[in-house]
Amino acid sequence: MDKSNEKDTKDYDSYIYEVVSKNIKYYRLNNKSKYADEYGKITQEKLAELCDVSTGLIANIESKKVFQTFSIAILYRIARVLNIEISEFFKER
């Protein structure tokens, strides 16, 4: 792979993580699942507990400063808890 393709791949990876990160936070704070509070929110701590992951992982995924990788299995767990289709995480808002 030449350097220009490598850069394009890194840029695209960053873009995907940014979109997914924003959407996880959006759906966590605008949620209608049975886990949401009276304001339609789920805390990072509660989401982490329900997904059986650390609070730090959820915080890092949502952070703009951290490039946190995660598996599709983690994404699936988050989608199930938030009661949304996993494809929603990949849509631009």
Measured at the CA of 26, the angle between CA 39 and CA 62, to 5 degrees, comes to 120
**Gap between the Cα atoms of 41 and 35, Å rounded:** 8
5 φ, ψ to 5°? Answer: -65, -40
Please return the burial class of 61, using the count of CB atoms within 10 Å of its CB with bins 0-12, 13-18 and 19+.
buried
pLDDT in the model for residue 69: 87
CB–CB of 10/67 below 8 Å?
A: no
pLDDT, tens digit, 9 for 90 and up, residues 38-89: 999 999 999 999 999 999 999 999 998 888 889 999 999 999 999 999 999 9
The full set of domains in the chain, from first to last, is 3-90 (1.10.260.40)
